[in-house]
Amino acid sequence: MLHGRETLVWRNDSKGAISDLQFHLYLNAFKSAQSSFMQESGRRPMNSTDVTMGWIEVKKMVVRDGEDLTNKIEFIHPDDDNGNDQTVIRVPLKKLIKRGKSITLDVEFESQLPTIFARTGFHKNFYMVAQWFPKIGVYESLVDKKAKGAWNCHQFHANTEFFADYGVYDVDMTVPKNYVLGATGIMVRETKAGDSTKTVSYHAEDVHDFAWTASPDFAVVEDQWNNVHIRLLTQPYKVGNISERYIHSVKAAMARFHDWVGVYPYPNLTIVDPPMNASEACGMEYPTLITGESVWGLPNGVRLEELATIHEFGHQYWYGMVGNNEFEEAWLDEGINTYYETRIMNDAYGEKNSVLDLFGLTVSDFDFSRSGYVGARNPKLAPTLLPAWKYDAGGYAAFTYMKSATFLTTLERLVGKPVMDTIMRTYFDLWKFKHPHSADFIAVANEVVPRFYGKKFGENMNWFFDQFLSGTNVCDYELSSISVSEIGEPAMRGKNQEKEYESRILASRLGEVLMPVDVLMRFDDGKEIRESWDGQARYKLFVYKGRARIASAIVDPDHVLAIDINFNNNSKSFTPPVFPVWKYTVKFMVAIQTLLQSLVLF
């Protein structure tokens, strides 16, 4: 049980006066099986006797030197009609908050942390304390400046994460003396009380959330990257190889984000490595604090720890500093961040084996991400630009994380890395510590790409984003056929005249997505011809006459279209390669022989 007192100073930055306030009470998602979160997830162990439910209750809410709001608190359900959901409250105000004016509230609350559950809670003496206080929603001015703004304060859903305003946090936490703490921001003081407790004070600026963790069992590993102090709170038995892998991967991420995107402005970063049985807390991001994911005994060639660390650190940029609405446009943080995760993983650990390199089996992080989208049961199930709680038929991760990362890789290959980096740096500089929308990102791309390419890709890049963000269509270009025929009758040909051939190459568009694509033709005399196709029509027939015959052809030879859902149909050859097939056949055969010799029962 957590007893809290909160003083909130909130300023009205909108264009008009505000007559009410809205708050998130996230912990109430775990209060009963009837909450929207529980209903949507449908997977939580609610009936088990050893599970502690989570909840939060506002005991008192008063305007400083003003009215008592406690009895005016009402639960609202802006996203659905679930009357049992208590994750959002509304408080009407007697006195309006005028434009540019502030209100100070004194709030007393009690929070019961659940048994570790969907990011937050406790397991034995490990506490991951997140979404633990009444958190005010975001009051958004509407695009029409004359119109009144509105609260953006969604209920807590199974798929959704968070959205909040930037602010300054000063937090005092009183815990038993032997506990090691980690929290958002920097520690400013630690005061030991006469009893068995101590109070630790943290200060954080330009952040939109505050999370903390506590456990007497943490082993602390400290390091430094440039001027950033890295503090890893891990399990004692993981100090060594695992802690070194954490530090190495986070430094790899810090260096590349610094070079490719922008400066990490905070003085520190805390990485929490939760205990094994608190894995629900793993792989989560909070401002200046992330939770990693590690498994003792996992070979170094399985780089899930590195992947999680790089991904969560990336959220310091895409979520932490560029604070988009994770409820409504999750691709802006998860998708962009997964794109960077694949880039950094591949750059730091190898193009082909960044995620897995074990017994000759290699998987790169890009392959891993792409397969999440391409390998989905139905890659057309839903668009990427969809509020997270509306993925009720599944596909939240496939489209928000994986498809987004794959189409951003496609964009990178289309415009080139330098232009892509310019887009991302510009977007970061423009929108750090603000709340951008998809349109803002597209606007940056529309401004940057023509600067480098003129009208090569059209007036703007809307055609690209419309297809991959709003649309559900798939991209699939195929090299359908190649054929050769002799020109003219042999009898008509002079004695010394060489034979001439007509080579026909048919490239087709099987998917509905339209992309410009190159087609590479190889002839039997070694000559190569590369043609550009705008990819608009259903097919394109290339015909060549001459003494050379077509040998093979490849659509998208440079793998620009990472989003293409079938790489195998991108080429045709009269002499398909047999050696690789034999190579794997031999491997297969030896494996079978080994099995036959080894696995005999009686």
Partner 1 sequence: MKLLDAFLAGIRKALHAWPITLVTFFVHLVMAGIAALLFKSALSNAFGNSLAPDQFLQGFNFSYVIDLLKKNPGLLQTVFGVVAWMMVINNFLFLFFKGGIIASVQSDNEKVTLPAFFEGCGKYLGRFFRLFFIAAMVALALFFILGMAAGFLYPLMLGDGETELQILQAAGAVAALFVLFFSILFLIADYAQVLTVAGDERKMIRTFWAGVRFMFRRFFSAYGLFLLFTVGSILIAVVPVFAGVHENAESGIALMGIFLLQQIFMMLGAWWRVAAVGGQVELYSLLKRAPSSERVQEPPTPAVPVPVMNVVPPAKEQNIIEESAPAVKQARRNIPRKRVVPAVRKKVLKRKTKKPIQRKQVVKT
Burial of 462 (0-12, 13-18, 19+ CB in 10 A): middle
CA-CA-CA-CA torsion sign (452, 455, 460, 464):
negative
Which residues 372-391 are close enough to bind partner 1 by CB under 8 A?
374-375
Question: What is the Cα–Cα distance from 99 to 101, expressed in whole angstroms?
Answer: 6
Minimum CB–partner distance for residue 274 and partner 1 (Å): 12
Cβ contacts of residue 47 below 8 Å, gap of 6+? none
Burial of 338 (0-12, 13-18, 19+ CB in 10 A): buried
Minimum CB–partner distance for residue 501 and partner 1 (Å): 18
Which residues 517-556 are close enough to bind partner 1 by CB under 8 A?
552, 554
Candidates 3, 94, 352, 451; binder of partner 1 (CB under 8 A) is 352
Q: Which of the ranges 145-153, 279-287, 295-303, 534-542 carries the binding residues for partner 1, by CB under 8 A? A: 295-303
Contact assessment for residue 145 and residue 67, using Cβ atoms and an 8 Å cutoff: no
To which H or E segment does residue 41 belong? Answer: helix 36-41
Contact assessment for residue 306 and residue 259, using Cβ atoms and an 8 Å cutoff: no
Candidates 361, 393, 491, 492; binder of partner 1 (CB under 8 A) is 361
Q: Which is nearer to partner 1, 157 or 572 (CB)?
A: 572
Q: Which is nearer to partner 1, 236 or 494 (CB)?
A: 236
Candidates 363, 430, 484, 529; binder of partner 1 (CB under 8 A) is 363
Q: How many CA atoms lie within 13 A of 170 on its CB side?
A: 5
Burial of 4 (0-12, 13-18, 19+ CB in 10 A): middle
3-class secondary structure, 464 = helix
Q: How many CA atoms lie within 13 A of 398 on its CB side?
A: 18
Alpha-carbon distances of 82 from 58, 155, 330, rounded to whole Å: 20, 10, 23
Minimum CB–partner distance for residue 590 and partner 1 (Å): 5
Q: Which of the ranges 35-43, 135-143, 291-299, 412-420 carries the binding residues for partner 1, by CB under 8 A? A: 291-299
Candidates 147, 193, 220, 589; binder of partner 1 (CB under 8 A) is 589
276 lines the binding site for partner 1 (CB under 8 A): yes
How many degrees, rounded to 5, is the angle at CA 511 between CA 533 and CA 404? 95
Q: Which is nearer to partner 1, 104 or 125 (CB)?
A: 125
The pair of structure tokens assigned to 403 is 């498809």
Which residues are registered as beta bridge partners of 110? 3, 57
How many degrees, rounded to 5, is the angle at CA 311 between CA 269 and CA 284? 70
Which residues are registered as beta bridge partners of 230? 223, 269
Which residues 230-249 are close enough to bind partner 1 by CB under 8 A?
235, 237
Q: Which is nearer to partner 1, 335 or 379 (CB)?
A: 379
3-class secondary structure, 120 = strand
Contact assessment for residue 546 and residue 501, using Cβ atoms and an 8 Å cutoff: yes
Candidates 146, 194, 359, 496; binder of partner 1 (CB under 8 A) is 359
CA-CA-CA-CA torsion sign (573, 578, 579, 581):
positive
Minimum CB–partner distance for residue 254 and partner 1 (Å): 28
Minimum CB–partner distance for residue 298 and partner 1 (Å): 8
Size of the site for partner 1 (CB under 8 A): 62
Which residues 98-137 are close enough to bind partner 1 by CB under 8 A?
124
Q: Which of the ranges 145-153, 436-444, 528-536, 593-601 carries the binding residues for partner 1, by CB under 8 A? A: 593-601
Annotate 391-445 with DSSP letters as a single string. Answer: -TTS-HIIIIIIIHHHHHHHHHHHH-HHHHHHHHHHHHHHHTTB---HHHHHHHH
Minimum CB–partner distance for residue 78 and partner 1 (Å): 39
Which residues 138-157 are close enough to bind partner 1 by CB under 8 A?
none
274 lines the binding site for partner 1 (CB under 8 A): no
Q: Which is nearer to partner 1, 27 or 555 (CB)?
A: 555
Q: Which of the ranges 53-61, 335-343, 523-531, 570-578 carries the binding residues for partner 1, by CB under 8 A? A: 570-578
Q: Which of the ranges 99-107, 221-229, 258-266, 587-595 carries the binding residues for partner 1, by CB under 8 A? A: 587-595
Minimum CB–partner distance for residue 578 and partner 1 (Å): 8
48 lines the binding site for partner 1 (CB under 8 A): no
2 lines the binding site for partner 1 (CB under 8 A): no
In one-letter notation, the amino acid at residue 259 is D
Contact assessment for residue 426 and residue 449, using Cβ atoms and an 8 Å cutoff: no
Q: Which of the ranges 34-42, 203-211, 275-283, 301-309 carries the binding residues for partner 1, by CB under 8 A? A: 275-283
Minimum CB–partner distance for residue 234 and partner 1 (Å): 12
- Which residues make up the interface to partner 1 (CB under 8 A)? 124, 235, 237, 275-277, 295-297, 352, 359-364, 366-368, 370-371, 374-375, 552, 554, 565-574, 576-602
